Amino acid sequence: MKAYVYGEKRDLPAGFETFSDRAHTAIVSIDMHEGHLADTPDCPCPAPRAREIVAPIDAFHDQVRALGIPIIHVKTVLRKGGVDDVKGVPSAWRLTFPLYVGEIPNADEHAIEGSRWTELVTRVEPGDHVVDTKKRLSVFYPTDLDFLLRNMGVRTVVLDGGFTDCCVLNAAFDASNLNYRVVVLRDLVRGTNTEMEDAALKMVSLHLGLVMDSADLLAEWREAAPVAAAAE
């Protein structure tokens, strides 16, 4: 089994079998919606580097579905009127991120329910699940994702989507703290920039789980027999 350890791809020793046990695994695809991916001036929270992984994520998900592994699409959706964020207690990113990127036009429209900005760009197929109550940086807050995963018998979560150094990293921390095995797909996540992306993936590899290429994980799933999840 191959994974990146502090940026270096290595063969792992025995003991990591639960990370590739497809019988207890789900894909969690993060915030691949128009609010980040639209290529228009009014995009309220642009993540232009993530546009290049839309087609690769769709292709990966097709192969995942063929193996019978569930896919959960999580997206940020905020109530109209701003109570969840803009006119309530604003997310910290609304104050800090513009210090780096400058003013973000139309930012107040980010993820507003019923708007085009909440429409997923990656494909959702019959049998997939959608969690649309994410309102902060983690896919677990304040959503029912943990409830869903536990009812599905999931012990390992495989993360793709964006931003690597923001929502993906938050998801990895929370998943690890909730005692899930965590895999982040290096080729199917994108960060604010390459520097931040690299730093986030290194943190994951040291403290939270495995950083892998999607092709390597698919190979593990196809070659290895499912193993029993470790007893709590």
Answer yes or no: are the C-beta atoms of 103 and 154 closer than 8 Å: no
Answer yes or no: are the C-beta atoms of 225 and 24 closer than 8 Å: no
C-alpha to C-alpha distance for 136 and 44, rounded to whole angstroms: 15
Domain regions of the chain by residue span: 2-223
* pLDDT, tens digit only, all 232 positions of the chain: 999 999 999 999 999 999 999 999 999 999 999 999 999 999 999 999 999 999 999 999 999 999 999 999 999 999 999 999 999 999 999 999 999 999 999 999 999 999 999 999 999 999 999 999 999 999 999 999 999 999 999 999 999 999 999 999 999 999 999 999 999 999 999 999 999 999 999 999 999 999 999 999 999 999 975 555 444 4
Answer yes or no: are the C-beta atoms of 129 and 148 closer than 8 Å: yes
Class of domain 2-223: alpha beta
Q: At what angle do helices 194-207 and 169-177 cross, to 10 degrees?
A: 10
- Kindly report the pTM of this predicted structure: 0.96
pLDDT in tens, 133-178: 999 999 999 999 999 999 999 999 999 999 999 999 999 999 999 9
